[in-house]
Amino acid sequence: MKEHKLSGPSTDPALLIPSLGPLYDRATPISYALLRIAFGLTILTHGIPKILNRPHGSMADPMAGTTHLIETALHLPFAPQLAFFVALLETFGAAAVALGAATRLLAPMLAVQMAFICVAIGPTYPWIDRGIEYPVILGFIALLISFQGGGRWSVDSWIGKAL
C-alpha cells in the first residue's frame, strides 16, 4: 500500500540541517500513528461512560446529557437514537480509529460529530472559557485522519485494504 506523507516532495522546504532528513522520514509514520491513537483514545473516554451509564466529569448521566443536547441545542428528531449512535461511534468507532481500522470510514463521522458539537455548544461554551477549542481541534484531527487513512502502523495497512 502506498504511504501518504503529510506533505509532498514539491512542497517540502530544504532542511537547514539535512542530516535530520532520515530522522524525520522514520519518525513521520510513528508520530502519525501516535496522533491517531491519542485521538481515538481521547474520543473513547467520552464513549465508554455513555455505554456503561457512568458519570463523566461534571455529567452525572452522559447519555441523558447527549440526548438533551441533540434535542434542545441541535433540535434534531430521534434524539435518543442519535445519542445511542454517538455513544457507539465514540466507543467502538474511536477504538477502531485508534487501532487504524476503517479510518477513512469512521474518522469523517467523528469530524462531522465534532462540527455538530461546535454548533451545539458554541453559543454557551465561548472560546477558552469552557473549552470549545477541544472539539474544534479534535474535528480537524479527525479531518486529517480522514484523508491520511490509517497510515503505516495500522490495521488497515496490516490487512492491505482501506477506503
Per-residue pLDDT of 79-104, as tens digits, reads 999 999 999 999 999 999 999 999 99
Residue 21 located in a structural domain: no
pLDDT band at 125 (very low <50, low <70, confident <90, very high): low
**Considering the domain boundaries, does residue 8 fall inside one?**
no
**pLDDT of 130:** 65
Structure pTM? 0.86
Domain range for 45 is 31-159
73 part of a folded domain = yes
Phi-psi region of 101 (alpha: psi -120 to 50; beta: other; left: phi over 0): beta
What does the alpha-carbon distance between residue 92 and residue 29 come to, in Å, rounded to a whole number? Answer: 24
pLDDT tens digits, 7-44: 555 577 999 999 999 999 999 999 999 999 999 999 99
Number of domains forming the structure of the chain:
1
CA distances from 31 to 54, 97, 100, 153 (A): 32, 15, 13, 10
Looking at residue 2, its pLDDT comes to 46
Residue 148 lies inside a defined structural domain of this protein: yes
Among residues of the chain, what percentage have pLDDT more than 70?
90
Among residues 12, 30, 13, 54, the alpha carbon closest in space to that of 153 is found at 30
5 lies in some domain: no
Residue 55 lies in a domain: yes
Residue 113 lies in a domain: yes
Residue 140 placed within a domain:
yes
